[in-house]
Amino acid sequence: MMTNKPDGTLYIGVTNDLVRRVHEHRTHAVKGFTDRYNLERLVWFEPHDSPTEAIRREKALKSWNRAWKVDLIETANPGWRDLWDEIIGSSPTMTEGVAR
């Protein structure tokens, strides 16, 4: 989930390359919702073993009410800190071409 500030606008998406996709959001490389609302802060994510499972979970989360989404974020990330450094530090091969 991406946001612009603690308890701000939320975006939920699915990707096969989290580092690349978050970098695109942070640099406004792709025009759309995240660019329009300046959603540059990754505050929650979860890996999945298959694209089918990831898409199923994305659709489920998008149907949740906002309070449930906020609870999910705050359980794992109570300060709504940006997880960018965590994801680029966890997989050096995934960060090739991504400016730190």
Query: What would the pLDDT profile of 21-75 be if each residue is shown by its tens digit?
Result: 999 999 999 999 999 999 999 999 999 999 999 999 999 999 999 999 999 999 9
Q: What are phi and psi of 88, to 5 degrees?
A: -75, -25
Alpha carbon distance 39, 13 (integer Å): 12
Structure-model confidence comparison of residues 97 and 91, the more confident one: 91
- Rounded average pLDDT over 3-28: 97
The structure's pTM equals 0.86
pLDDT at 98 over 60: no
